[in-house]
């Protein structure tokens, strides 16, 4: 019953943004047709949808390489970010030496080194993967480090009084405590990883959604280009939604639950 | 019990206590500095086995600092603390600590929170699970074993914290103003609960508080700490029969103790 209610509330909260989006698409459709705007400038949504349906095999064939590079680059940035964050948390030397370097290195717009990566690693998957990793790594590291260090000093004191070792305190206290921080880092990293992959494909690639967008642009095939952008956006939304869904499962103690029931008992 | 509690001078009371039972815990000329600031000056006392000792003083008088040193979480600048013959060098198994706030882990249910010390000490969880449940039963929160801390009231959370401090069967229980965050009614109730648990398990208790009535009601003996100097300025044996009952708080004997303690605190403020 409560679950149903929660679902209904959730759908209710989605109704407004969904409705607004549909209204916008409808206005776009009507205006483009009424004003006779040419497809090459701005195709109506119906035409973009038509391209997605008719050329789904081309879109999918180019989506897969982009998708797996995004996911692997993202996973690398999560593992790397958490690892460096652990070092930052536990090693004063790393905190003093490495941390400022990582922060300062953020001045370099990572997209600008995409051509450099191509020079070093070629036009294959490695360049895209590396760019996705590099671009997603920073928010992951910063969030994880903040999470590991945000534990209440008194809780650490309590754990030490229980004779917990460093590792036990990390595993039983710092890590679960950092989970909300890790997930906000992941949500940022996944969207950035997509950018990294697409930019890398823009620069030099023989496949991928970024390659398809560039190719369609070159052919002045605007409907195909916008179909590719749409597919890319939906993919990004789905990846984000997956992380948000896992977050809800992992951080069960923060989801609003049956407080009233407990206090009524 | 007559309405004329005997007053014991510091040395006499300590002597009487250690004469009856072997001292388990000795604090010897302990001093603690924070830079230039002297948080604790020359504190010495013994605690007998099974004794309920309160350290009473205004906030900022260093009583929590003293307790953290006994817990092995802080080192004395001078002097030493001896437990069962060994000087304290760090946290020890025979100590359980209850802090001012419950400090429960929000992602663990009540039972798993209570079992945290068992995990940290690498003791067999299965053996201690029964003990944890028995403790929750005694603290009257057994029905909440599977709940998360956010589903509990403040008083219930602090009960869980007390169970956690007792689960590994420590012989010494250190309590740092454990009820100060609770409302007055819950506070009295928790005091009674604590006495019941203490009576059952016979732990040595050091109870830090700034509530005169709480100290007088719970303790065998009260040490008063002053702010200037930050040291023990007075010692009072509480001559009230056990078990203690809420009604005693209305009685002359109780109020007599309260008056003496209040005067002692005021005296330490004046200087």
Q: Taking CB atoms and an 8 Å cut-off, how many pairs form between chains A and B?
A: 66
Q: What are the tens digits of pLDDT across the range A113-171?
A: 889 998 999 887 888 999 999 999 999 999 999 999 999 999 999 999 999 999 999 99
How confident is the model over A44-73, as pLDDT tens digits?
A: 999 999 999 999 999 999 999 999 999 999
Q: Which of A200-204, A258-262, B49-53, B74-78 has the lowest mean pLDDT?
A: A258-262
Q: Do B105 and A176 touch (CB under 8 A)?
A: yes
Partner residue facing B120 (CB), from A155, A164, A253: A164
Nearest CB among A154, A173, A265 relative to B99 is that of A154
Q: Do B150 and A253 touch (CB under 8 A)?
A: yes
Chain B residues within 8 A of A152 when measuring between CB atoms: 103
B116 touches chain A (CB under 8 A): yes
Report pLDDT for B10: 39
Distances from the Cα of B103 to the Cα of A2, A211, B164, B169, B259, angstroms = 30, 53, 10, 19, 34
Mean pLDDT calculated for residue range B77-82: 94
ipTM field: 0.83
**Which secondary-structure segment (H or E) carries B71?**
none
Return the pLDDT at A255. Answer: 63
The label of the residue with tokens 């103690």 reads A253
* pLDDT over threshold 50, residue B248: yes
Closest approach of chain A CAs to the CA of B117, in angstroms? 5
pLDDT at B20 over 70: no
**SS3 sequence of chain A:** CHHHHHHHHHHHHHHHHHHHHHHHHHHHHHHHHHHCCCCCCCCCHHHHHHHHHHCHHHHHHHHHHHHHHHHHHHHHHHHHHHHHHHHHHHCHHHHHHHHHHHHHHHHCCHHHHHHHHHHHHCCCHHHHHHHHHHHHHHHHHHHHHHHHHCCCHHHHHHHHHCCCCHHHHHHHHHHHHHHHHHHHHHHHHHHHHHHHHHHHHHHCCCCCHHHHHHHHHHCCCHHHHHHHHHHHHHHHHHHHHHHHHHHHHHCCCCCCCCHHHHHHC
**Which chain A positions have a beta carbon within 8 Å of B121's beta carbon?**
162-163
Contact B103 A160 (CB under 8 A): no
Closest-CA residue in chain A for B149? A253
Answer whether A43's CB lies under 8 Å from A32's CB: yes
Closest residue of chain A to B153, computed from CA coordinates: A263
Please name the residue of chain A whose CA is at the shortest distance from the CA of residue B168: A162
**B19 pLDDT more than 70:** no
- Using an 8 Å CB-CB cutoff, list chain A residues near B152: 262
CA distance A137 to chain B (A): 27
Cα four-point dihedral sign B211, B213, B219, B222: positive
Which residues have C-beta within 8 Å of that of residue A263, sequence separation ≥ 6?
A: B151, B153
Q: In what order do the strands lie in the sheet with B232-237?
A: B95-98, B172-176, B204-209, B52-56, B221-225, B232-237
Superfamily for domain range B1-94+205-271: P-loop containing nucleotide triphosphate hydrolases (3.40.50.300)
The A residues from 171 to 190 touching B (CB cutoff 8 Å) are: 172-173, 176, 179
Helix (H) or strand (E) holding B65: helix B63-70
| B219: phi then psi, degrees, rounded to nearest 5 | -90, 160
Comparing A22-31, A232-241, B133-142, the range with the smallest average pLDDT is B133-142
Query: What is the average pLDDT across A186-195?
Result: 95
Domain boundaries, chain B: 1-94+205-271
* Mean pLDDT, range B80-95, rounded to an integer: 92
Whether A159 sits inside 8 A of B73 (CB atoms) is no
Is B103–A155 a contact, with Cβ atoms under 8 angstroms apart? yes
């Amino acid at each position: 019953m409560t679950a149903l209610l929660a679902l209904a509330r959730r759908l209710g909260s989605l109704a407004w943004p969904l409705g607004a989006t549909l209204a916008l698409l409808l206005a776009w459709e009507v205006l483009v047709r009424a004003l006779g705007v040419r497809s090459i400038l701005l195709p109506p949504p119906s035409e973009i949808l038509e391209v997605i349906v008719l050329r789904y095999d081309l879109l999918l064939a180019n989506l897969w390489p982009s998708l797996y590079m995004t996911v692997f680059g993202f996973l690398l940035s999560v593992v790397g970010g958490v690892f460096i964050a652990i070092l930052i948390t536990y090693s004063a030397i790393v905190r003093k030496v490495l941390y400022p370097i990582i922060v300062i290195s953020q001045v370099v717009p990572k997209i600008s080194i995409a051509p450099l990566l191509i020079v070093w690693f070629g036009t294959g998957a490695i360049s895209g993967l590396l760019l996705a990793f590099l671009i997603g790594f920073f928010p992951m590291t910063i969030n994880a480090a903040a999470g590991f260090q945000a534990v209440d000093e008194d809780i650490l004191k309590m754990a030490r009084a229980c004779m917990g070792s460093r590792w036990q305190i990390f595993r039983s206290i710092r890590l679960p405590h950092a989970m909300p921080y890790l997930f906000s880092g992941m949500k940022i990293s996944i969207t950035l990883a997509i950018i990294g992959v697409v930019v890398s494909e823009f620069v030099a690639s023989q496949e991928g959604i970024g390659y398809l967008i560039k190719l369609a642009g070159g052919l002045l095939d605007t409907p195909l280009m916008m179909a590719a952008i749409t597919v890319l956006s939906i993919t990004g939304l789905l990846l984000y939604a997956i992380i948000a869904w896992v977050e809800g499962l992992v951080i069960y103690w923060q989801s609003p639950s049956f407080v009233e029931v407990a206090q009524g008992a | 019990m007559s309405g004329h509690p005997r007053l014991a001078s510091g040395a006499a009371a300590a002597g009487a206590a250690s004469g009856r039972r072997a001292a388990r815990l000795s604090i010897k000329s302990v001093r603690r500095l924070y830079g230039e600031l002297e948080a604790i000056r020359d504190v010495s006392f013994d605690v007998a086995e099974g004794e309920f000792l309160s350290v009473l003083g205004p906030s900022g008088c260093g009583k929590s600092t003293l307790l953290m040193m006994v817990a092995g979480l802080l080192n004395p600048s001078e002097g030493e603390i001896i437990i069962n013959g060994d000087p304290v060098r760090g946290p020890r198994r025979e100590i359980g600590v209850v802090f001012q706030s419950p400090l429960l882990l929000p992602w663990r249910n009540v039972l798993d929170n209570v079992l945290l010390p068992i995990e940290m000490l690498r003791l067999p969880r299965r053996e201690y699970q029964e003990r944890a449940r028995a403790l929750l039963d005694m603290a009257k929160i057994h029905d909440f074993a599977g709940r998360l801390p956010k589903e509990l009231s403040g008083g219930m959370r602090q009960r869980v914290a007390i169970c956690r401090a007792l689960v590994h069967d420590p012989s010494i229980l250190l309590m740092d103003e454990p009820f100060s965050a609770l409302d007055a009614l819950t506070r009295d109730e928790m005091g009674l609960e604590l006495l019941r648990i203490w009576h059952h398990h016979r732990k040595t208790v050091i109870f830090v508080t700034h509530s005169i009535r709480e100290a007088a009601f719970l303790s065998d003996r009260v040490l008063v700490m002053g702010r200037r100097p930050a040291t023990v300025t007075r010692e009072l044996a509480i001559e009230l029969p056990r078990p203690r009952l809420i009604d005693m708080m209305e009685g002359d004997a109780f109020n007599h103790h309260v008056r003496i303690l209040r005067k002692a605190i005021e005296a330490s403020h004046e200087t």
